[in-house]
Amino acid sequence: MLLDGKKLLITGVLTRESIAYATAQAAQEQGAEIVLTSFGRAMSITEKIARRLPAPADVLELDANEPAHLEAVAEELGRRWGRLDGFLHAIAFAPADALGGNFLHTPWESVQASFRTSAYSLKAISAGLLPLMRDRGGGIVSLDFDASVAWPVYDWMGVAKAGLEAVTRYLARDLGRFGIRVNCVSAGPLRTVAAKGIPGFEAVSDGWAERAPLGWDVTDPTPVGRVAAFLLSDWARGITGEIVHVDGGYHAVGAPSPRTAE
């Protein structure tokens, strides 16, 4: 199996629709041992969902913006496993006034909050967990939404995703010497809690299935979770600083093609 014996940390499981849940499931199916993280009021929800995984997983508290949480997580993983083979960053947040078409009027405080939680936190967690990964190497994967273009309503989250892509490349540069790979999965739109929090998200997701050569199911995060699991595995040992699109091929075409009968 792809992840036999691997010890992985999976952030961002909130519901069964979460991309992180699909990743956790794929990772366990491929032989990994996992621990989840959650924070605040979401902790109890994540704990409930964690029991639905193929193997129930423990949940540690990690608010990505709380250095003390990160220290405690690193300490607990060190005690438990003595090392870490990789982690999934499935964390994003933007205040309401940073989304939904308010781009020209978003105050700096909201821009800063979006960037800190959604982009800077990848560096924060990578640096915090480095002592557990530096001896044996491993994989770090985060979740992106194609930041090479401007989207309707995505606003400062789109800018934060551009930051996340850049953070990925800089971490790949700095962590390669430890055998640590850092990659993003650029996912197509999925109907998760995070997506439902973006007013007018349908302006982005509607029509995706028609344009994507492979079609696209906004209710199925499995294809994204499986690629994230692959990138966490040694089979991806030649890949770093990469953005892998798992979007049904949407990014590769400029307009929907008329369906021709074959």
Ligand X SMILES: NC(=O)c1ccc[n+]([C@@H]2O[C@H](COP(=O)([O-])OP(=O)(O)OC[C@H]3O[C@@H](n4cnc5c(N)ncnc54)[C@H](O)[C@@H]3O)[C@@H](O)[C@H]2O)c1
The residues of the shown chain that bind ligand X, judged by CB under 6 A, are: 11-12, 14-15, 18-20, 38-39, 42, 62-65, 90-93, 117, 143-145, 187, 189-190, 192-195
Query: Closer CB to ligand X, residue 9 or residue 64?
Result: 64
Q: Does 123 qualify as catalytic in the annotation?
A: no
Task: Return the biggest CA–CA distance within the chain.
Answer: 60
* Those residues with Cβ within 8 angstroms of residue 94's Cβ, 6 or more apart along the chain or in another chain: 110, 113, 114, 117, 118, 155, 156, 157, 160
Residue 5: CB minimum distance to ligand X, A: 26
| The pairing of beta strand 33-38 with beta strand 7-10 | parallel
Q: Does 196 qualify as catalytic in the annotation?
A: no
- List 154, 170, 196, 250, catalytic entry: 154
Query: Closer CB to ligand X, residue 48 or residue 136?
Result: 48
Residue 180 near residue 134 (C-beta atoms within 8 A): yes
Query: Closer CB to ligand X, residue 19 or residue 84?
Result: 19
- Residue 65: phi and psi, rounded to 5, are -100, 10
User: Got the DSSP string for 131-161?
Assistant: HHHTTT-EEEEEEE---SS--TTTHHHHHHH
Residue 261: CB minimum distance to ligand X, A: 32
Query: Closer CB to ligand X, residue 44 or residue 257?
Result: 44
Residue 186: CB minimum distance to ligand X, A: 7
- List 6, 7, 123, 161, catalytic entry: 161
- 244, 188, 249, 187: which is closest to 213 by C-alpha? 249
Residue 40: CB minimum distance to ligand X, A: 8
- 24, 27, 46: which is closest to 37 by C-alpha? 46
Catalogue the active-site residues: 154, 161
